[in-house]
Structure 1
Amino acid sequence: MSSRIKNLNQSIGKTMARRITFRMLPITLSMLLLVYGYFVPSSPVFGKVYSQSNARERVVALTFDDGPNEPYTSEILDILNKYDVKATFFVVGMNVERYPDTARRMLSEGHVLGNHSYSHKANHAISNFGVKDFKRAEEAIYNTTGVIPHLYRPPHGKKTPWELSGLRKAGLIEVNWTVSTNELHRELVFGKPTPEMVAKDIISEITPGKIILLHDGYGTNHNDAKSDKSLTVQALPLIIERLQVKGYRFLTVPELLNVSAYNRVPTYVDEN
């Protein structure tokens, strides 16, 4: 009798375990989907995100995040002028207020400005704070340069459904990337990278239509050692020259995606 009861208990236990597993499966899959959508920059899980084009010809877009950040942004602008390359700068509103002349220089030299939040806080996507933050950045950019970016890139490329919904309502589109080099991660794993390593990282991933991510700043931290972007400055000529040798042309993101660079009406006035 005790053996039968034991077998019955084991059978019931296995049945309950299977039912629990089956019921948990949708929750587990949903959680994995949320994680994928949040952390993967090119993921379209929560809505349309531009990270490359379907171009067949050899064209790419060069983008820079977290600027302006002096002296590195000006050094990058000098290099771009030398090679007659136009880029897209996803600027941080707080940094635009810190270096207004550099932001205006970007625009005057034919580069495109995108919105990269005002404060570059890591929790921007977790709540409605992100929507208010990109509107504050828009106001800073408009007051400094007179343009209203149509393109938005969230800090670290992280996104949520409500943030994308807020962007759509504001008339913005989200642009992330498909090619990047994480100098900080590489340094932790392999040791301090060289300009040659950075260039190789980028070029090895290039195919037509890709959007390249580099950094001319580090959030809003201007006194942190990580804000030193001399490595990017040194690697940039190598990247440009080698891609040009391969027959690639550099476009701005709006040119690559065939979208407008700027909006006509600001969204931040809705907050007033």
Structure 2
Amino acid sequence: MSSPKPFQTFCQWWWGQLRAKWLLYIVLAITTLTLCVTFQSPISRTAQAFVRGPVAYSGLTARLNQLSSLANQAWANQLELLAQQAEAMNFTVPEHFRGKTIRSVPLPSGRKVIALTFDDGPLDPYTNDILYILENNDVKATFFLIGRSVQAFPNRAKHIQMKGHALANHSWSHPYAQQSPAGAAAQIDNTDTWIKQTTGFTPTLFRPPGGILNNGMAGYAAQKGQVVVMWSADSKDYYASAPNIIKRVMAEASPGGIVLFHDGGGNRSQTVLALPFIIKQLREQGYEFVTVPELLKLYEEEVKAINAAKAAETAKAAEAVQASPPAQPPPTLGY
């Protein structure tokens, strides 16, 4: 009998190796499916869906749609909660200030409160850097947002809201030119809509771009009942270096003041550098940091307290007059 040829021997050996490997793969696949079914893992559900065909896939689609609906409902609930939190944190404004223009609001008591405000955002990375600094220093601020920037960076606008800062309107596209009535309405209303849609909060404050009060937008905002917010201290951070920003703010800071910074509209790295030093120095001088809505609320509370005290004093004086015995007429002398 002739011995097998080398090539034939090699083929037989190779076929044996393949059969052994395929047998191993089959054993592994069966074992994996058995374990998946036993422990009801997501892989097992996928395998079952594959085996069951279109009916199972339709069930999976229904579950995914249900998850999407639940996610939308959860976000709607979150927006409602954020709006309630904003109201609880004094982000509504007293009726007395609606439709008016303010530059600073010194409290009757002389209490050293000050409001830090940031314009032209949101814009990465500067808005995020500023939020980090504010949180690290336990400071709440007011952000005047550009509508198209909210549209471009909705998550950052949500982030501002969720960190407890007040949101305000700074127009849609930051125009300086005169606006028609329809143009002014579009600039402000579209921004309000996007802020509301993104964060659940409708702004009650408006800051005109460039501080221009006579191009139609400030008038429309006031007519709408929003407070037109200017400033009493200008950091000039759109061109100044960090040391000069610090110097300007510290020179112009005052009780009840409103400080203008920017977190958008360009490179704001100098603002980011200056902000921690400004917060530290103001705090060392005894200042407390509030949002603009909180500043207005504090003013209203103090005025009400003063008026109540005056009314109490008047009532007390009136009671004292009533309680005193009537004056006796002089005795009549008889002759």
Superposed pair shares fold, TM > 0.5: yes
Contact 2:100-2:228 within 8 A present in 1 as well: yes
CA distance in 1, matches of 2:123, 2:143: 12
Contact 1:126-1:160 within 8 A present in 2 as well: no
CA distance in 2, matches of 1:93, 1:162: 17
| 2:252 match: secondary structure | coil
Aligned equivalent of 1:20 = none
1:245 pairs with one of 284, 287, 298: 284
1:172-251 equivalences under 5 Å are: 172-184=226-238, 193-218=240-265, 227-251=266-290
Higher mean alpha-carbon deviation, 126-135 vs 238-247, is at 126-135
Contact 1:196-1:238 within 8 A present in 2 as well: no
CA distance in 2, matches of 1:48, 1:170: 11
Q: Which structure carries more helix by proportion?
A: 2
The offset of 1:122, in angstroms, is 1.8
Contact 2:232-2:257 within 8 A present in 1 as well: yes
Provide the identity percentage. Answer: 40
CA distance in 1, matches of 2:222, 2:176: 21
**CA offsets 1:9-65 (integer angstroms, 9 cap, x no match):** xxxxxxxxxxxxxxxxxxxxxxxxxxxxxxxxxxxxxx8311110221111000000
The offset of 1:117, in angstroms, is 0.5
Aligned equivalent of 1:159 = 213
CA distance in 1, matches of 2:216, 2:138: 39
The offset of 1:257, in angstroms, is 1.5
CA distance in 1, matches of 2:124, 2:156: 8
Q: Which has the higher contact order (CA 8 A, sep 6+)?
A: 1
The offset of 1:165, in angstroms, is 3.9
Q: Which runs of 5+ in 1 are unaligned?
A: 1-46, 188-192, 219-226, 260-272
1:1-272 equivalences under 5 Å are: 48-55=100-107, 56-123=110-177, 125-128=178-181, 129-160=183-214, 162-184=216-238, 193-218=240-265, 227-258=266-297
Contact 2:237-2:268 within 8 A present in 1 as well: no
Larger radius of gyration: 2
Contact 2:176-2:215 within 8 A present in 1 as well: no
| 1:241 match: secondary structure | helix
Report the count of equivalent residues. 197
Which aligned runs of 4 or more in structure 1 are off by greater than 3 angstroms? 161-165
The offset of 1:175, in angstroms, is 0.7
Contact 1:63-1:90 within 8 A present in 2 as well: yes
Amino acid at match of 2:133: I
The offset of 1:130, in angstroms, is 1.9
Higher mean alpha-carbon deviation, 66-75 vs 167-176, is at 167-176
**CA offsets 1:190-223 (integer angstroms, 9 cap, x no match):** xxx43122111100111101100000111xxxxx
TM-score by length of 2: 0.56
